Amino acid sequence: MKADPKGVLTGSHTLTGNHACAEGAFAAGCRFLGLYPIVPSLEISERFLERAPEVGATFIQMEDEVSVLAAVLGASWTGKKSMTVTSGPGLSLMMEHLGLGVMLETPCVIVDIQRAGPALGMPGRPAQGDMMQARWGSHGDYEIIALSPSSPQEMFDYTIKAFNLSERYRIPVALMSDAYVAHLKEEIVIPHAEEIEIEPRRYYKGAKDKYLPFKRDKDFVPRMVNIGDGYKFHVTGLTHDDRGYPVMNEECQEYNVHPLVWKVRNYVDEIIEVQEAETEDAEVIIISYGATSRAALKAMEQARKSGIKVGSLRLVTVWPFPEKRVAELAKKVKAFVVPEMNFGQVVLEVERCSYGNANVIFVPHGENGVENTDDLLSAIKQAGQADKVESVIIEFNKGV
């Protein structure tokens, strides 16, 4: 399906990452925004509110983040593509409803503009400290999809992709950006509506009385209907069968929850997107995502100039984690260098998936700015010199 031209602001614009994200949402067909103001995600909702009347979108500012995500889930069931924008503390408050979204298999997009944490941290300062939270933050077992854009153009593109994935797999998708990318102003190109591919919602088309809200189709995804179409369905956050009725036993728990995990694990190849650069002959590979991949690419070029064979693996999809690709590369390289704006999150996954075949060097968020490559370059040099595989993560500049 093609995008609705009403929401597509075709042309070339100079936009911040946040504004680009709002445009991406409109282009993807998002017509409902639940919001609660929080730094540094404000500009997304501002842009959304400003353009909503023209596009024909609705929004509501709720009393807290808890109710925001509840309202977004409700809105999604009326047939409107829905999203919310927030930052760290807000994401923490949304955790319960993230679980409800997974359980009700409700498509929606959560944009998290990460700021330095924990607690109130440093509002407005970039960080990548919510990566693990996006994957593990709600109670119970589930899998989720998380994307991490690194430029305003990608904020636009991957917001659309997030909506498409969420409709395809009926799952909440997290767009894990950060304050740096969100406030970065760059030129972005918005294509014509007919050039934007949109995943339509997968609706049920059979007889009204035969509708089962959680009966999985061949593509492993149950079909949806809208409220008010007369299907009189029931859905619940309790463990349920195909009819959506609660059943409280071991068998049903297995029947209900295991597919929630399979839904993503069995389709990783379709979901995962990584961007590789010069990995063919690389001895050291920088694994990065979001804002840090900007520094990573810069460091790669500089290191190449000084003769070290460096490649870059950029995780566009952070969750599910590209296990296979990392494992393959681990066999070829000496070391992975993982820069993150936190004190060790995705690097643990890299360690797990390298199966002892490569060193893992972690470069935590230093005192220099996001795009500063000094630490990264010295880590690369250190990585190139190593001659044996260590059994632990080597932390660069430990104990600053």
Partner 1 sequence: MKAKETKTKEIQSVPSKKGEIHPMENLLRMDRMPHIWCPSCGIGLAVTAFASALEKANIDPDKISIVSGIGCTGRVAGYVKLDSFHTTHGRPIAFGTGIRVANPKIKVVVFSGDGDLIAIGGNHFIHAARRNIDMLVVCVNNFIYAMTGGQVAPTTPLAAYATTSPYGCVEPPFNIPYIADSSGAVYVARWTTLHIRRLINSLAEALQKKGFSVVEVISPCGMYYSRINKLGDGLDMMKFYHDNVEIRHGEDTKNLDIGFQTKIICGKFVDRERPSYMERYNQWLSGVKGGSRDEG
Partner 2 sequence: MKASPTDVLTGIYYIDGDVAAGYGALAAGCKLVAGYPITPSTEAFEAMCRMGPQVGTVFIQMEDEFGSISAVLGAVWSGVKSMTITSGPGYSLMMESIGFGAMLETPFVLLNIQRGGPSTGVPTKTGQADMMQSRWGSHGDYELIAISPDSPQEMFDYTIKAFNLAEKYRCPVMIMSDECVGHMTEKVVIPEADKIEIEPRRFYKGPPEKYLPFSPDPDLVPKIAKAGDGLGLYITGRVHDERGYPVKNEEFKAKYVRRLVDKIRLNKDKIIELKEESTDDADVVVVSYGISSRVAVKGVEIARQKGIKVGALRLVTVWPFPDEKIIDLAKKVKAFVVPEINYGQIVFDVARCCHGQANVVLIPHGGAGVHNPLDISDAIESAAKEDKKIEGVVEFKTRLEKIVFERGLKFKE
Partner 3 sequence: MNSIISAFSKGIEKSGIDRKKISMPSDVPFNPDVVKALGVDYFQIPRGRAIAFGTGLKLGNPSLKVVPVAGDLMTLGGNHFVHGARRNMELLIICVNSFVYKKIAGKPIPSTQSAFSPYSTFEEPFNFPHLGNSCGAIYTARWTALHTEELADSVAEALHKHGLSVIEVLAPGPNYYTDIDSIELELLKFYHENSTIKNNEDPKNVAIVPDEKIIVGKFTDKERPTFIDSYNVQHSKILGDKFTPHGGKNG
Given a contact cutoff of 8 angstroms between Cβ atoms, the answer to whether 223 and 217 are in contact is: yes
Interface with partner 1 (CB under 8 A), residue from 9, 39, 193, 227: 227
Which among 187-195, 206-214, 277-285, 346-354 is the span making contact with partner 2, rule CB under 8 A?
346-354
DSSP state of 338: E
Cβ nearer to partner 3, comparing 49 with 394: 49
Q: Applying CB under 8 A, does 96 fall inside the site for partner 3?
A: no
Q: Applying CB under 8 A, does 201 fall inside the site for partner 1?
A: no
Cβ nearer to partner 2, comparing 12 with 391: 391
Q: Applying CB under 8 A, does 39 fall inside the site for partner 3?
A: yes
Q: Applying CB under 8 A, does 369 fall inside the site for partner 2?
A: yes
User: Token pair 């690369």 is at which residue?
Assistant: 380
Burial class (CB in 10 A: 0-12, 13-18, 19+), 379: buried
Which among 14-22, 189-197, 239-247, 309-317 is the span making contact with partner 2, rule CB under 8 A?
239-247
- Residue 38 touches which member of partner 3, partner 2, partner 1, none, C-beta under 5-8 Å by kind: partner 3
CA angle 205, 173, 36 (to 5 degrees): 110
Distance of CA 53 to the CA centre of its chain: 28
Given a contact cutoff of 8 angstroms between Cβ atoms, the answer to whether 275 and 286 are in contact is: no
Q: Applying CB under 8 A, does 286 fall inside the site for partner 2?
A: no
Distance of CA 128 to the CA centre of its chain: 12
DSSP state of 255: H
Strands (E), 248-309: 274-277, 284-288
How far is the C-alpha of 358 from the C-alpha of 351, rounded, in Å?
A: 9
- Residue 200 touches which member of partner 1, partner 2, partner 3, none, C-beta under 5-8 Å by kind: none
Given a contact cutoff of 8 angstroms between Cβ atoms, the answer to whether 397 and 337 are in contact is: no
Site track for partner 2 across 308-337, x = CB under 8 A: ---------------x---x----------
Q: Applying CB under 8 A, does 95 fall inside the site for partner 3?
A: no
Burial class (CB in 10 A: 0-12, 13-18, 19+), 9: middle
Write down the least CB distance from residue 95 to partner 1, Å: 11
Given a contact cutoff of 8 angstroms between Cβ atoms, the answer to whether 313 and 276 are in contact is: yes
How far is the C-alpha of 271 from the C-alpha of 260, rounded, in Å?
A: 15
Q: Please, which of residues 49-108 interact with partner 1 by CB under 8 A?
A: 53-54, 56, 58, 60, 62-64, 66-68, 70-80, 82, 96-97, 100, 104
Write down the least CB distance from residue 255 to partner 1, Å: 18
- Residue 77 touches which member of partner 1, partner 2, partner 3, none, C-beta under 5-8 Å by kind: partner 1
DSSP, collapsed to helix, strand or coil, labels residue 276 as strand
Q: Kindly state the helix (H) or strand (E) to which residue 99 belongs, with its residue range.
A: helix 88-103
Write down the least CB distance from residue 319 to partner 2, Å: 12
Interface with partner 2 (CB under 8 A), residue from 35, 93, 291, 313: 93
- Residue 292 touches which member of partner 2, partner 1, partner 3, none, C-beta under 5-8 Å by kind: none
Q: Please, which of residues 111-150 interact with partner 2 by CB under 8 A?
A: 114, 116-123, 125, 127, 129-130, 132-133, 135-142
Given a contact cutoff of 8 angstroms between Cβ atoms, the answer to whether 70 and 36 are in contact is: no
- Residue 82 touches which member of partner 2, partner 3, partner 1, none, C-beta under 5-8 Å by kind: partner 1
Q: Applying CB under 8 A, does 119 fall inside the site for partner 3?
A: yes
How far is the C-alpha of 256 from the C-alpha of 254, rounded, in Å?
A: 6
Q: Is the peptide bond before 118 cis (omega within 30 degrees of 0)?
A: yes
Cβ nearer to partner 3, comparing 49 with 132: 49
Q: Applying CB under 8 A, does 257 fall inside the site for partner 1?
A: no
Backbone angles phi, psi at 152, to 5 degrees: -55, -40
- Chain residues in the site for partner 1 (CB under 8 A): 31-32, 34, 53-54, 56, 58, 60, 62-64, 66-68, 70-80, 82, 96-97, 100, 104, 226-238, 245-246, 248
- Chain residues in the site for partner 3 (CB under 8 A): 36-39, 42, 46, 49, 61, 63-65, 89, 119-120
